[in-house]
Amino acid sequence: MKVSFLIHNAYGIGGTITTTFNLAQALAEQHDVEVVSALRHREEPTFTLDPRVSLRPLVDLRHEREHPLYQRPARVFPAAEYRYQQYNELTDQRIGAYLESTDADVVIGTRPGLNVHLALQAPQHVVRIGQEHLTLDNHPPALRTALRRAYRRLDALTTVTEADAAAYRRKMRLPGVRVEALPNSVPDPELPAADGTAKVVVAAGRLVPVKRYDLLIEAFALVAAEHPDWKLRIYGTGEEHDRLRQLVTDLALHDNVFLMGAAAPMEAEWVKGSIGAAASNFEPFGMTIVEAMRCGLPVVSTDCPYGPGEIIKDGADGRLVPVGDHGALGAALLELVRDDERRRRMGRTAVENAGRFAPGPVVAQAERLLDEAIAARRTGRRVAPSRGRVNRALISQGFAVRDAAHAAVGSALRTMRRGRG
């Protein structure tokens, strides 16, 4: 089969890009796979893409910001979507043209706004799979309203956790749409797993408020006070860097806590540690948790919605602590710092348990879902409402839809635009 991924910007940095590239690479073992990037801002992607996977940008921000359509607001991409300000009539037009002309058997959207494009504009023969990398409860009400109407035109919707899949089934009322949890995969490590002897705790991710690296640093102060030979290395870049640097200074942890900057790939850094750590208030999945576990590190994490609790088995391959409690986080870290044998045993268990996130099991589940969706569409077994495609003329004329279903979706999107004004 031919599979096409539609992504926001494949040339940037982020978890969605990583997981999309991972799945595309794994599927390319047996299938024709392409990644279509709505936007492009640099010559080459930051992350390495398997050469068997083709990459095609639609709008090049280096050359097309002065295009007349670039200055006009998007009419298809929903106004309540987080990335709305980065979309416009030019992206509407290019995405619509790509979907109308695609020869893919399956197109997979990778964020809500792109899933709306996919639902409204893909030809009848194309199987439409929407991926959600955030969570339903994280979307604002206006966006949930638009998605509830548009997502009824999808063949399937995947989330990264069972908890979020259950929320979609319970709250969104998507008759005939298969809603299934499909976890992110992490490639098999190339380096030997950590042996648990290094006196290093490792954390990685964007330095943004929701990740709560301030909480982690405060928790590690408890570790450093009792075991000053232990170090905390935090990998990543972001808006919180200067504030975190000042916190390290204020707590006199300059000999123990290090802001390491970005590292890609992270595998070589994980295996230099003995414990992984995550302190987020909110984590739709937790790619870094899986990465750390696959490299032999037990992970101490806050038990935030939704990912960590579905990845870590508390007490077996890591520890789960209450959100926002630096004392509990510090105590859990100390448990593993103090007990060499337990730490090493949990690291070995982490490798074993994280095997379910290897490409093999995840790709097998993805292939089964895609095969069943293709068969259902070809045989007409699907019970969801029929889907027509949006006329390309509507891109420049607004949402003057031709049938009742299109009108319903258009009404929701127009209502959101009025609210934004």
Among 329, 357, 385, which residue terminates a domain?
357
In a domain, 190, yes or no: no
175 plus 218 within the same structural domain: no
Among 309, 333, 357, which residue terminates a domain?
357
24 plus 157 within the same structural domain: yes
In a domain, 353, yes or no: yes
54 plus 162 within the same structural domain: yes
The answer to whether the beta carbons of residues 121 and 76 sit under 8 Å apart is yes
Can you tell me which residue has the tokens 């801002």?
Answer: 41
Tell me 238's DSSP state: S
41 plus 176 within the same structural domain: yes
Among 332, 357, 382, which residue terminates a domain?
357
41 plus 131 within the same structural domain: yes
- DSSP lists the bridge partners of residue 180 as 158
332 plus 275 within the same structural domain: yes
Q: Distance between CA atoms of 388 and 124, rounded to whole angstroms?
A: 7
Here the tokens at position 179 are 């809603």
Total tally of structural domains belonging to the chain: 2
For the domain that residue 243 is a member of, what is the CATH number? 3.40.50.2000
371 plus 235 within the same structural domain: no
297 plus 207 within the same structural domain: yes
310 plus 365 within the same structural domain: no
Residue type, 160: V
Here the tokens at position 67 are 């295009």
35 plus 155 within the same structural domain: yes
Range of the domain at 216: 200-357
Per-residue pLDDT of the chain (421 residues; tens, 9 = 90+): 999 999 999 999 888 998 999 999 999 999 999 999 999 999 999 888 999 999 999 999 999 999 999 999 999 999 999 999 999 999 999 999 999 999 999 999 999 999 999 999 999 999 999 999 999 999 999 999 999 999 999 999 999 999 999 999 999 989 989 999 999 998 899 999 999 999 999 999 999 999 999 999 999 999 999 999 999 999 999 999 999 999 999 999 999 999 999 997 899 999 999 999 999 999 999 999 999 999 999 999 999 999 999 999 999 999 999 999 999 999 999 999 999 999 999 999 999 999 999 999 999 999 999 999 999 988 876 533 333 333 333 233 333 332 333 333 344 333 333 343 3
In a domain, 406, yes or no: yes
165 plus 105 within the same structural domain: yes
pLDDT tens, position by position, 24-49: 999 999 999 999 999 999 999 988 89
In a domain, 153, yes or no: yes
154 plus 286 within the same structural domain: no
Can you tell me which residue has the tokens 């989330």?
Answer: 159
